[in-house]
Structure 1
Amino acid sequence: MTSYLMPHSARRPGGLLVAAVLTAGLVTWAPVPAAAAGGFQTEELRVESGSGADQVELDATLYVPASATEAEPAASIVIAHGYGGTKEQSRGQATKFARDGYVVLTYTARGFGDSTGDISLNAPDYEVADARTLIDLLSERPEVLQDGEGDPRVGFFGGSYGGGLSLLAAGYDERIDAVTAARTWNSLVNSLFPNAAGMPAADTPAAPGAAEAADGVFKKLWAQFFFEGGSLDPEGGGRGDGSGGGGQRSGGCEDLRPEYCAAYEEVISTNRLTEEMRELLAQASPASVTDQITAPTLLIQGEGDTLFSLTEADSNAREIAANGTPVKLVWVTGGHGATRATLAEAAMIDELGQQWFDFYLRDSGEDPGTSFEYTEVSEQAANGPIEGTPETVPAYPGLTGNGPVRLEVPIAGEAQELQYPAGGTPAALSSLPPGFFPESGDRRQEPTEIADQSAVFESEPLAEALDVVGSPVVNLNVASSSGEAVLFTKVYDVAPDGSATLVQGLVAPARLTDLPATLDQAESTPITLPALAHSFQEGHQLRVVVSSTDQAYATPAEAATYQVSLASGVTGALSIPDVTGQPAPEFTAPQPRGQRIHNIALIVGGVVVGLAVLAAVYLLLRRRRAETPPW
């Protein structure tokens, strides 16, 4: 057992006045030592889960605050790490919660680090069953508050892979009392085989296109993280180098259950979703159990996430809220494949997460409510930071009431012909997962379009700023020499000087079938574009680009010629959800209870020491004045 209890400071009587003079101005502002904020101990555990050939040992750490005892037990939180990571990835967050008085359990998922077993991508019989075993463990701990026999007061916290597990566990185990899930998926099928064809599936800002996802476009580079080794940071980004993010194993096919590797091999041989893969991904998707989640759920999603888009959080929110379960949705910049959230956003997430668990696990603090927070991006530097303004609305539009009204932004462009090269090479570039480099070999990932592979439609310069919060929709007519087409549609922000920025590097892939050979026989096809939170400034233009290739996706083997036009002719419209927010309150990172008390003690101590110094100086000056000769 490792102790993190705060040691008593040794006191020295000598030099008190000198020390007081040197430190009096510093005491109030001195940083709090890590051990001083709140005492807790950790226990290293090996937790057996499963039975027979499927039994594994999970490497776990239990954080027990000094304030949690059998006489005064505390609520608990389980933290699940990202793909390719280990429990060490959760140490910082676990320390924060433990210092605030929660019993915290972190662990390394099966197939990673020092845990045994094979990876099943959060399958119910394996990773979800492991989560239930961990809750059983908490039900036997005397320091953990119990709601009934075998029923601990417990919240689940996770990002990315851990976020998916948090939602799945809440769907399968009603003992979970609150959930915070960040940057995660609703459907692994939709995430790895997206299809943006069709109108939005619901009347919410970021609902996905309603086309059949079973025939989507294979997100081949991101799939390599799961099946060929890599790590996904729960705060965004990842590595494609197979290093596994700190674990001894990479999460590649050698670490997955055999049925997953077999299904993946079949997929990459055709670049199409097979029924076997669909079934494996579907069972590991929260969408399979969102109708059973009753634990209040806080969802945090990245606006620039190219793996788990905003549509995934939209779907989770709609499906969980349909149960009458409290749901709060927060969009922040960054995400997988994008920059990290800003410091202000990190403070907001930290405070909201603390409020969520305090209210639902401790019955303390203010009700965090179900308002919708997002960051409206106003400036995006190439391969650099982005600037935006935090906004809020009372509730996520369409979740429990009416959805947003849609505005029509006129766009124009002639019918255009696109060439699709055999094998999709050369290909346009929107964005790539971390660790991958463009075909050009240039390490910079600035979006590029290929002239004869893209069609362009533009608005006039805006007379006033336009805020887009949600998924625009464009109606196209498409024809193909092969009878089908895979298209990639995206939105650029074009400045008055002609410079164009692909908003957050996002793209909407769509697979279209049964297409005519000529446009005069084509029917209107709606394309649901990526959900944005972006402010187009006065004088800027919206540019819609439709491309036949993209380096991050698998495309058809045979060459073809496509024709694309706006459905209504030379002029058309971009349909945009009208969501108007108000400035969000400023957040500061919350301090654990022990740290808050410690800081107050420091302030009071600083005042006392300061007064003592002043008194000492005053007495010293009087003595010297009394002893000074009159001459």
Structure 2
Amino acid sequence: MKTLALPALLASALCATFTPSSQAAPTFIADVVITTFDGTGIDANLFVPDTPAPAGGYPTVLFTNNWMLDKNQYLLQAKELAKNGYLVMSYSTRGFGASGGLVDVAGNNSIADASVLIDWLEDNYAVGKLGLAGISYGAGISLVTAAQDPRVDAVAALSGWPDVIEGLYPGNTVNLVWGTILTTTAFNLDPEVDTIWANLRAAENIQGVQAFAAPRSALSYVPELNSNGTAVLMSNNFADYLFKPNSMTQLYSLLDGPKKLLLNPGTHAVTETLGGNNGHIWATTFRWFDRYLKDQPNGIDSEPKVDMTVRISNKLEQFDDFPVTDKTTRYHLHPRFSYFNNGSMKTSPYSGWGWSNEFHGGADTKAGTGIPVISDALEGFGIPVYTNMTGINGYYAIEYNSPVHWSTFKIRGTPSLEMWIKPSKPEVQLQVHLYDTGPLGLGRLITHAPLTLRNAQVGQAQKISMELFTTSYDVPPGHVVTLAIDTEGTIYQRLEDRNYEIVVPYRSSRQSVLTIPHL
């Protein structure tokens, strides 16, 4: 078997998404240092078409780098755009690459830098309609800049965040693995960011964390994006456990202007970097810019607005809007009768005698998301990761099985859970997983979500409500859907006091319900 070098693999994957151009080769300027508003040098490169600017100026794209990466990240995409008549600048955000300054996580300085770069382009070239694009960190900066600078006509935000809090503190739970990756890989990090991360980990001054996050989150700027009429393309991945698709679907639903949503298998940024869902993400990005920066009538504005690719099978489906379906199945939770039995999920409410189950903190189980980052990345290539479901139920977890599905159960959207519990401590954590379980007891993760209660009513029955992460998954015939709940997960920070019990009461007046959207 031959093994391709990573650069060759990336090049072949990316180039497969582009339509060859017959226009002349562009001029590449490898190093451009632009002095921004506070004297900091921002390092950039530039592709200039070898064709005269059209009457309205060059359609222009400004690429913003990923976390840890620099201005050279988008060379393949930038060159191809320039060959098709675009003026393209890529830059290293402050604190990354050869740019000066400190990494402020899309703070005021970084947003001001982007506007200064636009000023520079307008001062030196004939700039027509302008687009911003980026993956991850670049996507977040692109969205916030577009909201604050009305010169931006279109955005392609890939694996981005509309809500910083959801990324680092989902369900009041510290996203330990991803937060640690971010804070330890930026060598010029603003000390304020370290303070915010320390406060999150200690569950202290959460109001201060929220004040830090709000101006860095695109959801805070929906009126501005709508007023500007920005054409917004958004892409997120189902196994992206840093920037989950839920807040991106929320942003999508609030936008009034031209918009398109891509939901893909795979984990954070990997799907886009390795060619983008069989080329679909980058091909759609190019078509988006052709329509809204070059005014080409390519039909993308009249196509379905939501492209959703099914996990594992990688089958692409298109829908008019999100949510993609209004059909749901409501599963009522029914008790297990010992630690050695699973509970059940039925479409009929529980109507038996008062009953209760309990499970405990203090240990992880086989319910989980697999090996952090690696398992999630494998999914993008259609490689499922299995869990032995027989090793989950017991003292530290509880499972509920649905009836057998005798036809394909096509889950599309955001499952939700309403559940009655009695916690023994004011601070408890639930890790909620949804699995596809086959006849041999092997499960494939459909979706999950964490929830940490920081001030629960001890010993009192209370109802929790939560959304699991948005997904698209086909449960095969002969399989069941399993809801597995424990108290620890490999990518999340454990509670300091793990010696607690969670009781699940069952009463006709206290129905715990899992709602699953499907076709």
Shorter-normalised TM-score: what interval? 0.7 to 0.9
Are 1:42 and 2:25 matched, yes or no? no
Aligned to 2:428: 485
Partner Cα distance (2:198, 2:456) in 1: 29
Partner of 1:546: 485
Report if aligned partners of 2:422, 2:462 keep a CA contact under 8 Å in 1. no
Q: How do 1:324-339 and structure 2 match up within 5 A?
A: 324-336=256-268
Matched residue SS, 1:140: helix
What is residue 190 of structure 1 aligned with on the other side?
166
In the TM superposition, what is the alpha-carbon distance from 1:73 to its structure 2 partner? 3.5
Q: Which amino acid aligns with 2:461?
A: A
Q: How does 1:272-311 map to 2 (within 5 A)?
A: 274-293=206-225, 294-311=229-246
Question: Which residue, 237, 249, 257 being the options, matches 2:190?
Answer: 257
Distance 2:299 2:207 in 1: 44
Counterpart Cα distance in 1 of 2:27 and 2:271: 35
* Contact persistence 2:387–2:443 (CA under 8 A): no
How far off its partner does 1:261 sit?
Answer: 2.0
2:359/2:396 contact within 8 Å kept: yes
Counterpart contact for 1:81–1:108, Cα < 8 Å: yes
Query: Which letter does structure 1 place at the counterpart of 2:449?
Result: A
* Cα displacement (A) at 1:140: 1.5
For residues 260-284 of structure 1, give each alpha carbon's deviation from its aligned partner in whole angstroms, at most 9, with x where no partner exists: 223333443x255633333222222
Worse-matched range after superposition: 330-339 or 157-166: 330-339
Q: Which amino acid aligns with 1:418?
A: F
Contact 1:118–1:256 (8 Å) recurs in 2: yes
Cα 1:416–1:447 change in 2 (3 A) is same
Say if 2:439 is the partner of 1:496. Answer: yes
Quote the Cα distance in structure 1 between the aligned partners of 2:400 and 2:156.
40
Q: Structure 1 CA distance, aligned partners of 2:276 and 2:173?
A: 35
Q: Which has the larger radius of gyration?
A: 1
1:21-100 mapped onto 2 (5 Å cutoff): 38-43=24-29, 44-51=31-38, 55-69=39-53, 73-100=57-84
Structure 2 residue 305 is the aligned partner of structure 1 residue 371 = yes
* Match of residue 522, structure 1, among 461, 476, 481: 461
- Spell out, residue by residue over 1:69-123, the C-alpha distance to the aligned partner (whole angstroms, 9 max, x if none): 4878321000111101001111111112111110001011100111111000011
Q: Answer whether contact 2:368 2:433 (CA < 8 A) is retained.
A: no
Equivalent residue for 2:379? none
**Count of matched residue pairs:** 466
Q: Which residue of 1 aligns with 2:114?
A: 131
Query: How far apart, in 2, do the equivalents of 1:394 and 1:140 lie?
Result: 41
RMSD: 3.0
Give how far 1:430 is off: 2.2
Instruction: Map Cα deviations across residues 13-57 of structure 1 (whole Å, 9 max, x no partner).
Output: xxxxxxxxxxxxxxxxxxx99998641002221001122xxx310
Report the secondary structure of 2:106's partner residue: coil
Deviations 1:290-322 (A, max 9, x none): 221121101111122111111021122123x1x
Runs of at least 5 residues in structure 1 that lack an aligned partner in the other structure: 1-31, 146-152, 196-215, 230-250, 378-385, 438-443, 581-631
Change (3 A) 1:278 1:367: same
Matched to 1:136, the amino acid is D
Alignment of 1:104-143 (within 5 A): 104-123=88-107, 125-143=108-126
2:316 matched residue in structure 1? 390
Q: What are the ranges of 5 or more consecutive residues in structure 2 without an aligned counterpart?
A: 1-17, 337-355, 377-383
- Larger mean CA deviation between 178-187 and 256-265 belongs to 256-265
**CA gap 1:70/1:528 in 2 versus in 1, 3 angstroms:** closer
Counterpart in the other structure of 2:291: 359
Q: Quick check: 1:101 aligned with 2:42?
A: no
Task: Provide the C-alpha distance between the structure 2 equivalents of 1:341 and 1:47, rounded to a whole number of angstroms.
Answer: 27
1:535 aligns with 2:474: yes
2:397 paired with 1:462: no
* Cα offset, 1:138, TM superposition: 1.7
Instruction: Tell me if structure 1 keeps the 8 A contact 2:135–2:272.
Output: no
What is the aligned partner in structure 2 of residue 228 from structure 1?
184
Q: Post-superposition shift, 1:530? A: 2.0
Q: In the TM superposition, what is the alpha-carbon distance from 1:393 to its structure 2 partner? A: 1.4
SS in 1 for 2:124: coil
2:467 aligned partner, one-letter code = T
Cα drift, residue 433 of structure 1: 3.9
For each residue in 1:599-620, what CA deviation from the matched residue of structure 2 results, as whole angstroms up to 9, or x when unmatched?
A: xxxxxxxxxxxxxxxxxxxxxx
Matched to 2:404, the amino acid is P
Tell me the amino acid that sits aligned with residue 165 of structure 2: V
Percent identity between matched residues is 22
Query: Which whole-Å CA distance do the structure 1 matches of 2:507 and 2:47 have between them?
Result: 62
Letter in 1 for 2:176: K
* The one of 119, 137, 143 aligned to 1:167: 143
Residue of 508, 515, 518 corresponding to 1:575: 515
For 1:387, what is the secondary structure of its paired residue?
Answer: coil
1:453 alignment partner, one of 360, 379, 396: 396
**2:174 is matched by which residue type in structure 1?**
F
Distance in 1, Cα, partners of 2:374 & 2:323: 37
Instruction: Note the C-alpha offset of 1:544.
Output: 0.4
Map 1:597-616 onto structure 2 (within 5 A).
Answer: none
- Measured against aligned partners, the alpha-carbon deviations of 1:480-505 in whole angstroms (never above 9, x if no partner) come to 211332111010100122211122xx
Shift, 1:256, TM fit: 1.4
Aligned residue identity for 1:387: S
In structure 2, C-alpha distance between the alignment counterparts of 1:568 and 1:40, rounded to whole Å: 70
Of residues 559-568 and 478-487 in structure 1, the stretch that sits farther from structure 2 once superposed is 559-568
Pairwise CA distance, 1:330? 1.1
SS of equivalent to 2:150? coil
* TM-superposed deviation, 1:460: 1.1
TM-score (norm 2): 0.82
The structure-2 alpha-carbon separation of the partners of 1:346 and 1:78, relative to structure 1 and needing over 3 Å to count, comes to farther
TM-score by length of 1: 0.68
Greater relative contact order (CA < 8 Å, ≥ 6 in sequence): 1
- CA distance in structure 1 between the aligned counterparts of 2:119 and 2:372, rounded to whole angstroms: 38
8 Å contact from structure 2 (residues 160, 243) kept in 1: yes
Shift in CA distance, 372/425, structure 1 to aligned 2, threshold 3 Å: closer
Given that 2:253 and 2:322 are in contact with CA atoms closer than 8 Å, whether structure 1 keeps it comes out as no
- Post-superposition Cα deviations, 1:52-72, rounded to whole Å, max 9, x if no partner, equal xxx310111111011144878
Structure 2 counterpart SS, 1:306: coil
Distance 1:285 1:327, change over 3 A: same
- Say which SS state the counterpart of residue 34 (structure 2) adopts: strand
Is 1:179 matched up with 2:120? no
User: Is contact 1:492–1:500 with CA below 8 Å preserved after alignment?
Assistant: yes
Distance 1:79 1:34, change over 3 A: same
* Counterpart in the other structure of 1:584: none
